[in-house]
């Protein structure tokens, strides 16, 4: 039986929410200190401080989330000693690549911060963002999206996170219009603005993707992953460093198919699922994904694993 570990994407970090975890988990303190040294930034001070905007800047939040996720992964309890598959949602794929040994921790921190910087260079003064839509038929949502885009708005699907969940990126007036249309179509459906989120995983990112492919260099040796990664774009297994690197760059410009990743994990025989890292988004999406048949789901948030009800 293969176990699988799935790593979280960038998410909103609440100031003060992780003080206890920081105190109880030495590996988190060590990881944050190491990551801060790489970037020349006091990440621990940002995590423990009260400045919400600072904490959720991409160049701060992303390294913190990677460090936290890997620290929690490092203290996983039995029976999760060596998961047979890894994957990550957006930012989480960088974490997964590091956990699999494809790249060093230093390069993982550098990569996530570099991505955030070049996104800020491209979109820092624009009115683009993302919305999370849920409890709606995705074909219906895609039709509504196309109708709003035909009126001159820029909208793109950027991630399918469950059978009735999609993240959409584009200009805020178009996203707001789409959210109103969705609410009128089905009062149970909802579109929510994602805080601190630039565009992602779509054609809007073409220039950013090209810059990443042309400019990025690893400082440390890369290697084939010790554990295969499930590609978050195609749900295919990635077994070489070249495949992993290409997928990390390609996810800039292609929608993430997260529901397919979860189904692929289950289809490979995975029954025990490990979710190391902050937030509950992946766990909460599982019941809305057909084929996500796991007998055990553990969300690692502190020194012990907490079983997620299935």
Contact 258, 283 (CB under 8 A): no
Q: For the CA atoms of 57, 55, 194, 232, what is the dihedral angle to 10 degrees?
A: 70
Report pLDDT for 127.
85
Report pLDDT for 307.
37
DSSP 7: E
Q: Kindly tell me the burial class for residue 82, based on how many C-beta atoms sit within 10 Å of its own C-beta (0-12, 13-18, 19 or more).
A: exposed
The encoded tokens of residue 198 equal 């630039």
Cα separation values, 88 from 46, 231, 285, 309, Å: 24, 8, 14, 21
Q: Which residue segments constitute the domains of the chain, with CATH numbers given?
A: 4-123+204-307 (3.40.366.10), 128-197 (3.30.70.250)
Q: Provide DSSP, 212-265.
A: HHHH---SS-----SSPEEPTTT-PEE-SHHHHHHHHHHTTTS-EEHHHHHHHH
The Cα diameter of the chain in Å comes to 54
Report pLDDT for 274.
93
Global pTM value: 0.94
Report pLDDT for 270.
86
Contact 9, 89 (CB under 8 A): yes
Report pLDDT for 309.
33
Report pLDDT for 310.
33
Q: What are phi and psi of 270, to 5 degrees?
A: -70, 130
Report pLDDT for 124.
81
Contact 273, 229 (CB under 8 A): no
Report pLDDT for 76.
79
Q: What is the mean pLDDT of each run of 10 residues along the chain (310 residues)?
A: 86 94 96 98 97 96 98 79 91 98 98 95 86 97 98 97 97 96 95 88 94 96 98 98 97 96 93 92 94 90 42
């Amino acid at each position: 039986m293969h176990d699988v570990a799935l790593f979280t994407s960038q998410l909103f970090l609440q100031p003060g929410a992780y003080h206890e975890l920081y105190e109880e988990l030495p590996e988190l303190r060590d990881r944050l200190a190491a990551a801060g040294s790489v970037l020349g930034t006091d990440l621990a001070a940002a995590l423990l401080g009260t400045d919400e905007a600072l904490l959720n800047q991409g160049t701060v939040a992303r390294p913190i989330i990677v460090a936290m996720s890997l620290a929690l992964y490092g203290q996983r309890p039995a029976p999760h000693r060596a998961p047979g598959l890894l994957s990550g949602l957006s930012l989480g794929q960088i974490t997964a690549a590091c956990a699999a040994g494809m790249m060093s921790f230093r390069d993982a921190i550098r990569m996530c911060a570099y991505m955030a910087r070049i996104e800020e260079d491209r979109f820092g003064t624009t009115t683009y963002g993302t919305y999370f839509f849920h409890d709606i038929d995705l074909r219906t949502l895609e039709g509504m999206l196309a109708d709003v885009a035909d009126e001159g708005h820029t909208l793109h699907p950027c991630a399918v996170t469950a059978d009735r969940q999609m993240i959409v990126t584009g200009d805020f007036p178009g996203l707001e219009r789409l959210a109103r249309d969705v609410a009128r179509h089905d009062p149970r459906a909802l579109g929510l603005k994602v805080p601190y989120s630039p565009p992602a995983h779509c054609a809007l990112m073409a220039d950013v993707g090209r810059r990443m492919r042309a400019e990025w260099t690893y400082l440390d040796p890369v290697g084939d992953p010790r554990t295969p990664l499930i590609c978050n774009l195609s749900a295919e297994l990635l077994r070489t460093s070249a495949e992993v690197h290409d997928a990390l760059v390609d996810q800039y410009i292609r929608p993430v198919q997260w529901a397919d990743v979860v189904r692929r994990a289950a289809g490979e025989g995975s029954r025990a699922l490990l979710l190391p890292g902050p937030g509950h988004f992946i766990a909460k999406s599982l019941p809305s994904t057909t084929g996500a048949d796991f007998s055990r789901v553990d969300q690692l948030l502190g020194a012990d694993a907490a079983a997620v009800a299935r």
